[in-house]
A and B are shown apart, each in its own frame.
Chain A
């Protein structure tokens, strides 16, 4: 059962990720990336990270990509016209580099499979995660709020119209 869910979610994630980076229409890009992020949330749930699976759906699929969609609509779903003088060598090189990343990860992690016995997953992670966040990681936790405030002000300054 677990295997079926994993392979289904993995296949859908890869297929919709490919669609997300290859389709010309930015609305399709954003919507198919939402599907990918839902599948990643399924993988988080399979790994026993229940809090992060919820956060993934709420923050990534629910907030960040809706922000993307909002900007795409605001700009009128802009598409970039096909290039007049395409650069085939650079395209092939870029695709090759990206494929190299996947192949490298594949071969490296395949060798890792031998002798791996994952421990049984914990039940409720939200409680323990909260204790870690306001315990040993309190400074980083507070710093994140400063980062978010800075990003908020920065975004406001960037889009403010000059009078």
Chain B
């Protein structure tokens, strides 16, 4: 039996890698992948706490997170395609029309 803390540490490391991807990359696809990785790390923490408490509610939340992540990916990738058509690039730093 692996302690819950091990899963939580793995989840926080994966979350940090995803956050680093979002903060450091300029490629729009890599940014979206970082968001997916963060969502997955949160899911892992939810399942770990669900086992810790002997309660399935955490797994229900993970189910909803998966559904919302699917919706988010569809809209995000559609935005990327629209941006690529307009700018011929997916560099998120070039989206500066509304930048102060």
A residues whose Cβ falls under 8 Å from a Cβ of B: 2-3, 6, 10, 13-14, 17-18, 20-22, 26, 29-30, 33, 36-37, 40, 43-44, 46-49, 51-52, 55-56, 59-60, 63-65, 67-68, 71-72, 74-75, 78-80, 83, 91, 94-95, 97-102, 104-106, 109-110, 112-113, 116, 118-119, 121-122, 125, 128-129, 132-133, 137, 140, 144, 147-148, 150-152, 154-156, 158-159
B residues whose Cβ falls under 8 Å from a Cβ of A: 1-21, 23-27, 29-30, 32-34, 36-37, 40, 43-44, 47-48, 50-52, 54, 56-57, 59-60, 62-64, 66-75, 77-82, 84, 89-91, 93
Provide a sorted-by-A list of 25 A–B residue pairs whose CB atoms are within 8 angstroms.
A6-B2, A10-B10, A20-B37, A21-B25, A22-B21, A29-B30, A33-B33, A43-B10, A46-B2, A49-B47, A49-B50, A51-B59, A55-B63, A60-B36, A60-B66, A64-B70, A71-B29, A72-B29, A80-B89, A102-B17, A118-B1, A125-B56, A133-B63, A155-B74, A158-B81
With a CB–CB cut-off of 8 A, which chain B residues contact A121?
Answer: 51
Q: Which of B13, B34, B40 contacts A102 (CB 8 A)?
A: B13
Q: Is the CB of B29 within 8 A of A30?
A: yes
With a CB–CB cut-off of 8 A, which chain B residues contact A40?
Answer: 14, 40, 43-44
Tell me how far the C-beta of B73 lies from the nearest C-beta in chain A, rounded to whole angstroms: 5
With a CB–CB cut-off of 8 A, which chain B residues contact A156?
Answer: 78
Q: Which of A6, A20, A109, A148 contacts B71 (CB 8 A)?
A: A148
Q: Is the CB of B14 within 8 A of A91?
A: no
- Chain B's closest residue to A87 (CB) is B93
With a CB–CB cut-off of 8 A, which chain B residues contact A109?
Answer: 5, 8-9, 12
Q: Is the CB of A21 within 8 A of B20?
A: yes
Q: Which of B1, B4, B10, B90 contacts A80 (CB 8 A)?
A: B90
Q: Is the CB of B20 within 8 A of A94?
A: yes
Tell me how far the C-beta of B63 lies from the nearest C-beta in chain A, rounded to whole angstroms: 7
